[in-house]
């Protein structure tokens, strides 16, 4: 009897393991990365064919420019792959071209020069009207793409190193003349893939797709120290159909921040960010994990962020905008988030960020509506949430469900605070603010979306 039951247990265990194996193996992984198909390019060149030297000292600007010139003008069928072998390739900023793959081998590093004196300037973005941190033009991104299509940056987890320290110090010492360079910017481009690359020490934002569509970013690692200023991970800006998946980001500012232009310039340009997915992202930062804003003047809609794991964060989920921004933020869904050691779990507010100049319109009030935040768990969260709409533009249809954000015993837990918000809350612990609970009682408790 006893032995038989042991065998029965073993048989049951084996069966269970087989079922688990079968079903976890056969369950398709949900992904949006198919919006830009991966292409293998048969025409391959190496940076060393153009005189590239990976000794960490030789300047390779000429090699990069010549290699990319060759890709641009020979226009090989199916495009060309530019191979970066192991080694450290120091270079000034350079421009990519269409139908190319920048392939970094294992052990390959493309490193930005620390000589910032000759760094080229480009015009400000029309939706910002000026550089984001200094008036006038802005330094071109280290790796830049403008008006391109079908570009892939990939490889075997080689590194793109911005050597940002020198720029962070200029910011700290207030000696910056113009806005710092992004590590990578694609402007007016489409069909872009960035995968299996490590991004390190960006001078400013790391990956900035602006006025782009169909952008896939997956299996990337983005690293910068927690005290490095404005080193946002990925900032989709006035861009649509952006898919960010399976990545690790640990920086000094927001991990992902979805933007769409700044105050009167962003309103005039009128280009939203929409249809953005962020999935299976892990990271930490003193600022936000998943952010919308604060520059949202062209509007942000249809955002899905799910399966997010955050540790040592300022704010877990942050929708932020400001008076003067205008713009509509709507249909934002964030679900399945786990966070630990966080100052604020969820924050939705309209008093964040500065203005480009004094010409912003104080009557251009932002609109925030149709927001769903579901299945959020957290430990060591100092304040679970705060939601502060504007008196003359309350946030509407804001729904929270299945939220458990637990604080430290000490210092004392700070309760939810809200104002000018309507919507509802179901199974939210600790109990959210009255504005959301009272609304829930008057409704059926069904959390449906009317966008
Ligand atoms: C790189 O692209 C920018 C923006 O299109 C342009 O202003 C600049 O001249 C280009 N640089 C080179 C070296 O081609
Ligand atoms: C690169 O790093 C990512 C993220 O850590 C990992 O998932 C992937 O397997 C690595 N790829 C290669 C080719 O080593
Ligand atoms: C809301 O956004 C999601 C993507 O996150 C999209 O699938 C859905 O169709 C949108 N709903 C409406 C009503 O636009």
Give tens-digit pLDDT for 143-152.
999 999 999 9
- Residue 204: what are its φ and ψ, rounded to 5°? -140, -135
277: which DSSP letter?
E
- Residues 165-177, buried b or exposed e (16+ Cβ, 10 A)? eebbeebeeeebe
pLDDT category at 366 given cuts 50, 70, 90 is very high
Tell me the pLDDT tens digit for each residue of 179-188.
999 999 999 9
Give the per-residue pLDDT at 450: 38
CB of 302 closer than 6 angstroms to any ligand 3 atom: yes
Q: Are 181 and 204 in contact (CB under 8 A)?
A: yes
Inform me whether the pLDDT recorded for 245 exceeds 80. yes
Share of the chain above pLDDT 90, in %: 87
**Active site residues per annotation:** 253
- Residue 200: what are its φ and ψ, rounded to 5°? -135, 135
Tell me the pLDDT tens digit for each residue of 301-360.
999 999 999 999 999 999 999 999 999 999 999 999 999 999 999 999 999 999 999 999
- CATH domain 2-338 topology: Pectate Lyase C-like (2.160.20)
Ligand 3 centre to CA of 105 (Å) is: 38
pLDDT category at 20 given cuts 50, 70, 90 is low
Q: Which atom of ligand 2 is nearest to the CA of 220?
A: 4
Tell me the pLDDT tens digit for each residue of 377-425.
999 999 999 999 999 999 999 999 999 998 876 656 788 999 999 999 9
Ligand 3 centre to CA of 243 (Å) is: 14
Of the ligands numbered here, which is closest to the C-alpha atom of 249?
2
Q: Can you tell me the distance from the alpha carbon of 159 to that of 67, in angstroms, rounded to the nearest whole number?
A: 19
- Any idea where the domains of the chain sit in the sequence? 2-338
Ligand 1 surroundings by CB, under 6 angstroms: 95, 122, 144, 146
Ligand 3 centre to CA of 333 (Å) is: 9
385 exposure class (CB count in 10 Å sphere: 0-12, 13-18, 19+): buried
Least confident of 8-22, 121-135, 361-375: 8-22
Inform me whether the pLDDT recorded for 17 exceeds 90. no
* pLDDT mean over 115-137: 97
CB of 23 closer than 6 angstroms to any ligand 3 atom: no
**Mean pLDDT of the residues in the chain:** 93
Q: Which atom of ligand 1 is nearest to the CA of 147?
A: 5
The secondary structure of 34-92 as a DSSP string is: GGS-----SEEEEGGGGT---EEEEE-HHHHHHHHHHHHHH--TT-EEEEE-SEEEEE-
Inform me whether the pLDDT recorded for 230 exceeds 50. yes
Tell me the pLDDT tens digit for each residue of 250-274.
999 999 999 999 999 999 999 999 9
C-beta atoms surrounding 445 within 10 Å: 9
pTM of model > 0.95: no
**How far, in Å, are 290, 343, 382, 435 from residue 416 at the CA level?**
19, 13, 10, 11
18: alpha, beta or left, given left = phi > 0 and alpha = psi -120 to 50? alpha
Share of the chain above pLDDT 70, in %: 90
**How far, in Å, are 87, 262, 289, 375 from residue 249 at the CA level?**
24, 25, 9, 22
* pLDDT mean over 217-225: 98
Q: Can you tell me the distance from the alpha carbon of 18 to that of 24, in angstroms, rounded to the nearest whole number?
A: 10
Give the per-residue pLDDT at 3: 53
Ligand 2 centre to CA of 330 (Å) is: 34
Inform me whether the pLDDT recorded for 223 exceeds 60. yes
Which among 307, 331, 333 is the best mutation to test ligand 3's pocket, defined by most ligand atoms within 8 Å of the CB?
A: 331
Atom 6 of ligand 2: nearest residue by CA position: 219
Atom 6 of ligand 3: nearest residue by CA position: 302
Give the per-residue pLDDT at 415: 87
Give the per-residue pLDDT at 447: 43
**How far, in Å, are 91, 347, 451 from residue 252 at the CA level?**
24, 19, 34
């Amino acid at each position: 009897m006893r032995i038989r039951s042991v065998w029965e247990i073993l048989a049951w265990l084996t069966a269970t393991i087989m079922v688990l194996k079968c079903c976890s193996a056969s369950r398709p992984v949900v992904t949006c990365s198919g919006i830009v198909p991966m292409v293998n390019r048969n025409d391959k060149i190496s940076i060393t064919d153009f005189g590239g030297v990976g000794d960490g000292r030789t300047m390779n600007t000429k090699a990069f420019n010549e290699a990319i010139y060759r890709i641009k003008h020979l226009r090989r069928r199916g495009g060309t792959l530019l191979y970066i072998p192991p080694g450290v390739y120091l270079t000034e900023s350079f421009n990519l071209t269409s139908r190319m793959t920048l392939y970094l081998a294992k052990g390959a590093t493309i490193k930005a020069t620390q000589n910032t004196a000759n760094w080229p300037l480009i015009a400000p973005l029309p939706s910002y009207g000026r550089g984001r941190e200094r008036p006038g033009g802005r330094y071109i991104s280290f790796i830049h793409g403008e008006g391109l299509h079908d570009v892939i940056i990939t490889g075997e987890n080689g590194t793109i190193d911005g050597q940002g320290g020198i720029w962070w110090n200029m910011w700290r010492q207030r000696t910056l003349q113009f806005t710092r360079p992004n590590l990578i910017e694609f402007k007016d481009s489409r069909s872009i893939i960035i995968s299996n690359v490590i991004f390190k020490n960006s001078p400013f934002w790391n990956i900035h797709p602006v006025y782009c569509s169909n952008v896939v970013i997956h299996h990337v690692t983005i690293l910068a120290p927690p005290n490095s200023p404005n080193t946002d991970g990925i900032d989709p800006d006035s861009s649509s159909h952006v898919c960010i998946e399976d990545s690790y980001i640990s920086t000094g500012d927001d991990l992902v921040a979805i933007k769409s232009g700044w105050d009167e310039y962003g309103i005039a340009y009128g280009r939203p960010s929409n249809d953005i997915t962020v999935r299976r992202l892990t990271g930490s930062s003193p600022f936000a994990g998943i952010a919308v804003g604060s520059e949202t003047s062209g509007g942000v809609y249809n955002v899905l962020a799910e399966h997010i794991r955050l540790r040592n964060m300022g704010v877990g989920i942050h929708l932020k905008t400001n008076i003067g921004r205008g713009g509509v933020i709507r249909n934002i869904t964030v679900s399945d988030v786990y966070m630990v050691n966080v100052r604020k779990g969820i924050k939705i507010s309209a008093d964040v960020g500065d203005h480009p100049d004094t010409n912003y319109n104080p009557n251009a009030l932002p609109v925030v509506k149709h927001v769903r935040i579901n299945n959020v768990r957290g430990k060591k969260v100092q304040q679970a949430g705060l939601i502060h709409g504007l008196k003359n533009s309350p946030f509407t249809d804001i729904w929270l469900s299945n939220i458990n954000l637990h604080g430290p015993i000490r210092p004392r837990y700070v309760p939810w605070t809200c104002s000018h918000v309507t919507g509802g809350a179901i199974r939210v612990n600790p109990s959210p603010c009255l504005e959301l609970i009272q609304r829930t009682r008057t409704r059926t408790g069904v959390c449906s979306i009317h966008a």
